[in-house]
Structure 1
Amino acid sequence: MPGLLRGVARTAVVAGTATAVSNRVSRRQAGRWAQQDPERQVAYQQDVAPTPAAPAPAGPPSAADEMTSKIDQLKQLGDLKAQGVLTDEEFAAQKRQVLG
């Protein structure tokens, strides 16, 4: 369990850092373009309009969705084991937990 949490935490930190850097680069580039050509800035803002949030699920997940979710979790566990993040015992314990 601690190995899995460590892997998940590491992934969250990497994803958060990548998002922050990407946003900063986008803002810096937009600022440079605004100084060079105001018309380009307007076009850039229209191209990079924020995407709307995904709608909330309408009802409880179907059996197919639950099975897909379990399969995805097992694939992630397999990847973590292959990377050496999880030991055989941790993998077996997590697998039992996912499968119920």
Structure 2
Amino acid sequence: MPGLLRGVARTAIVSGTATAVSNRVSRRQQGRWAAQEPYQEAPPPRPTSSTEPPPAAPAPDMTDKIEQLKQLGELKAQGVLTETEFEEQKRRVLEA
């Protein structure tokens, strides 16, 4: 039993020391980075005029679906997916 307690105590000391060292290194790095790069504010938003067209609507998800279907087709051609698995995954992509 004393050997077990000694091992537990040693582990606690080692992990505590490692945590303290890690925290100190992190603080030191953060201080160095803060000294190297001054804080930069984000540029002010660009004013929009009424003559500019409204932003384009996001592209439909169809391009993503087509890409997923191509990947599924490749997996089926490689023999990774069976016909049944391919059909199930295709149905899920098209329903989403």
TM-score by length of 2: 0.40
Choose between structure 1 and 2: higher helix proportion. Answer: 1
